[in-house]
Amino acid sequence: MNFAASLLSLFQSGLSGLAAYLAAHVLLCLLPAFFIAGALSALLPKEAITRYLGRDASKWISYPASALGGFFLAVCSCTIMPLFASIYKKGAGLGPAITFLFVGPAVNILAISFTGVQIGMDIALARIILSMVFGILIGLLMAWFFRKDDTQHAKTTANNQLFAGKASIPTRTIVFFLLLLGTLIAGTLQIGLLRDVFFEIRVPGIWAVSLQAWLDKIIPPDAALGIEGVSVHGLFLIGLLILIAITSLKGFRRIYEGLTPWIIVTLSLITLTLVIASFSVVASTEGLIIGMNGRLVAEILLLGAIWWMGARVFSTNERQEWLWETWRFVKQIIPLLLVGVFVASIARSLIPASWIMTVAGRNTLWANLAGVLFGVFMYFPTLVEVPVAQTFLSLGMHRGPLLAYLLADPELSLQSILITNTVIGKKKTAVYVVLVTIFSTLSGLIFGWFIK
């Protein structure tokens, strides 16, 4: 194979992986997740969470609140560090602050939903449960090891009012969040009630199967590497995504000017994309078979309720804040995600599976430690670590070491270690790194015991 042919093959591998991530089942995960993250960031009173993180708060309240804070505040690996620095310097106890730092990225709504869809709900649930349990243990140990320093820290921040707020979460915000969460669950949950087709429309002609054959030639699917290729349905959805990208660039950057025509068009396209992604579409010799299912009905009802609440229940400022925060997450994550998926897909075709099998093909102590150490030296932003993890999985990595990597990647990157050092000092940082290494390795090892 000559050099040009090799480059073409690598490009096809990257494109194939990228196309798979833009398929319908990912759209039904990512689009709702971004809007959920934006709503949590814009509509949730921060004082309702931070009021429970003070050093003097009951441990039975402060540590669970810290563990859940990342979910409710929608923090990712990029934003956890400034938030950690802020709450610690403003009076949070060392233990709750450390728990928040460790657990926050792991329970991010974007990361959890994407992990569940792409790698499996077993990994997603284990990531939530084990990160919370061990995050609280790490926080308790840090608070005990440095109890004298923590007492002095509490005295120097005693006058700070961040943790004195009495804000509560409005009922309308809770209902709105549940509706948004419903679109995510309805779009990704694989049960008969949602998946089974109850009515079909057939568009006759051999064009559909011919188009599918052409797509398979341009972007060959490879089941061995987990590459799905592009379906006729997926091609249409990718076209809609391109339109959304164009209109959102025109509209969302001027969100504070009100609901401009470009924003209305963008929101309409997003709604249309979620609805179309809910259809069951199959290309056959009989034509294009479009199936209507329970997922479609659920998405239409939920989306209608969401837009009604957005228009009738929330103020103009609240809508603008929600859409702006959603746009902020999209700008921050999507470019990195697309590049990361493309590069990870190329790496999948270059890395010999024997390497991964040798280092982390079994659930051993050293294999899990290797997963943790990889997270230290190879940092990937939120969501990008998921396609990287999927690449390792397709090459033979055991799911135990895979979980160890997913837990360690946000917390133990070199960037995170350096920033943590500036906040709490060298000694505390060194102890924190050791504890995270131990508990991340242990998490992967424990998880690996319960799966094959």
Helix (H, G, I), strand (E, B) or coil at 451: coil
pLDDT, position 293: 94
Burial of 64 (0-12, 13-18, 19+ CB in 10 A): middle
Angle at 161 between CA 419 and CA 329, to 5 degrees: 50
Nearby residues of 118 by Cβ (< 8 Å), 6 or more positions away: 21, 26, 386, 387, 390
Q: Could you tell me if residue 432 is left (phi over 0), alpha (psi between -120 and 50 degrees) or otherwise beta?
A: alpha
* Residue at token pair 């310097």: 89
d(CA 171, CA 177): 10
Is residue 163 over pLDDT 80? no
Q: What is the DSSP string of 332-354?
A: HHHHHHHHHHHHHHHHHHHS-HH
Percent of the chain with pLDDT over 90: 16
Contact, 402 vs 393, CB < 8 A? Answer: yes
Q: What is the DSSP string of 173-203?
A: HHHHHHHHHHHHHHHH---HHHHSEEEEEEE
pLDDT, position 424: 85
Q: Which residue has the higher pLDDT, 269 or 148?
A: 269
Residue type for position 171: T
What are the tokens at 433? 């790194």
Pick the closest to residue 411 from 386, 443, 440 (CA basis): 440
Say what the pTM is.
Answer: 0.72
**What are the tens digits of pLDDT across the range 338-366?**
776 777 677 766 767 677 777 787 888 89
Percent of the chain with pLDDT over 70: 80
pLDDT, position 159: 56
* Residue at token pair 């008969």: 192
SS3 content of the chain, % helix, strand, coil (to 5): 75, 5, 20
**What are the tens digits of pLDDT across the range 192-219?**
888 889 999 998 888 888 998 888 887 7
pLDDT, position 56: 62
Contact, 273 vs 237, CB < 8 A? Answer: yes
Q: How much is the mean pLDDT over the chain?
A: 80
Instruction: Find the distance separating the first CA and the last CA of the chain, reported in whole Å.
Output: 38
Is residue 61 over pLDDT 90? no
pLDDT, position 247: 92
pLDDT, position 226: 54
Is residue 439 over pLDDT 60? yes
